[in-house]
Amino acid sequence: MVLPSGFALPPLPYLAAVALAVLAVGWALARDRPPVTDRTVLAFAPWMVVGSSLYVCYQLEIFPEGVAPFFGSPIVYASTFAVAGATWLATRRTARPLAGLAGVGSALALLPVAAAVHHGWEAGTLNFAWPLAAVAAAVVLAPVAWLGVRRWRPRDAEIVGAAGVLAVFGHVLDGTSTAVGVDVLGFGEQTPLSALIMEFAAELPTAELLGVGWLFVLVKTVLACGVVVLLADYVREVRSEGFLLLAVVTAVGLGPGAHNVLLFVASNP
């Protein structure tokens, strides 16, 4: 098994509807060819939170049955892309397109976040302390890691800019939130490769004192920094495509990290 548990496609009508929307938006974006820069990656950050927060609401069974299949995993990310891409196209005609893209994404992110928090309040399962501790740890560790990248490869760090910082932060947040979930809150790790890392950490002499999540944090941080450095050459040679790929790398870190934090806030076991 190489896919996370919970990975399942929705019924065919839902899948077809989302596929058509993604194809239509993808075709329109390919035709319009908007430039992709480090600021574009930052503008899409709220949309990464939108997708992960919608999936949390799906896990908490907040959605009505008729629309819930749009928000399972992995289709929720395709659904989010379709809306985000359409918004990007619409805001391209405004004076500040990226500000508009980020603003709409931020406003939409508030809705599932508020719904999840309300669900936790009603169920008596709210827990802010440890999830926010994971965020605080990422806020501390990510700049330290980025400082290391800047000293190791200053030119590459300059090329990827703020998008590189966000990519590293997203993966560090995924690491710290996963560590808190596994070591403190008693959640299980859904991704097989991540589980293998923590199983290895459980065999080390440090397990009794430090738990098993610390090794996952270290691996995620090192890998994120290494991938960002490797992508710097691509960004240098093919700017838009390089930043687009960096956006994908950011999404697979920030999305799961935001998902973990909100799920832990709303459903303390």
| pLDDT recorded at residue 5 | 54
Of 5, 82, 45, nearest in space to 251 by CA: 45
Segments forming the whole domain that contains residue 31: 8-124
| pLDDT recorded at residue 209 | 84
Rounded Cα–Cα distance for residues 266 and 116 (Å): 6
In the numeric block, the tokens 């956006």 are attached to 247
Q: Average of pLDDT values for 160-187?
A: 95
Residue 3's pLDDT band, with cuts at 50, 70 and 90, is very low
Query: Domain for residue 209, yes or no?
Result: yes
Query: Domain for residue 1, yes or no?
Result: no
Among 81, 97, 124, the domain boundary falls at 124
| pLDDT recorded at residue 256 | 95
| pLDDT recorded at residue 4 | 54
Among 124, 151, 167, the domain boundary falls at 124
| pLDDT recorded at residue 219 | 95
Q: Which residue has the higher pLDDT, 210 or 166?
A: 166
Count the domains in the chain.
Answer: 2
Same domain, 136 and 265: yes
Same domain, 171 and 119: no
Q: Average of pLDDT values for 24-39?
A: 95
Residue 59's pLDDT band, with cuts at 50, 70 and 90, is very high
Same domain, 111 and 135: no
Query: Domain for residue 3, yes or no?
Result: no
Same domain, 188 and 93: no
Query: Domain for residue 224, yes or no?
Result: yes
Same domain, 143 and 246: yes
Q: Average of pLDDT values for 156-185?
A: 96
Same domain, 142 and 225: yes
Averaged confidence pLDDT in the chain? 94
211 phi/psi in degrees, rounded to 5: 80, -160
Whether 2 shows a pLDDT value over 80: the answer reads no
Q: Which residue has the higher pLDDT, 201 or 161?
A: 161
Same domain, 130 and 254: yes
Same domain, 130 and 110: no
Among 124, 159, 179, the domain boundary falls at 124
Whether 140 shows a pLDDT value over 80: the answer reads yes
Same domain, 262 and 150: yes
Cα–Cα distance list, 248 to 44, 48, 121, 199 (Å): 10, 10, 33, 28
Same domain, 52 and 143: no
Same domain, 103 and 217: no
Query: Domain for residue 32, yes or no?
Result: yes
Dig out the tokens for 181 from the structure: 């979930």
Please check whether residue 178 is in contact with residue 57, taking contact to mean a CB–CB distance below 8 angstroms.
no
Query: Domain for residue 258, yes or no?
Result: yes
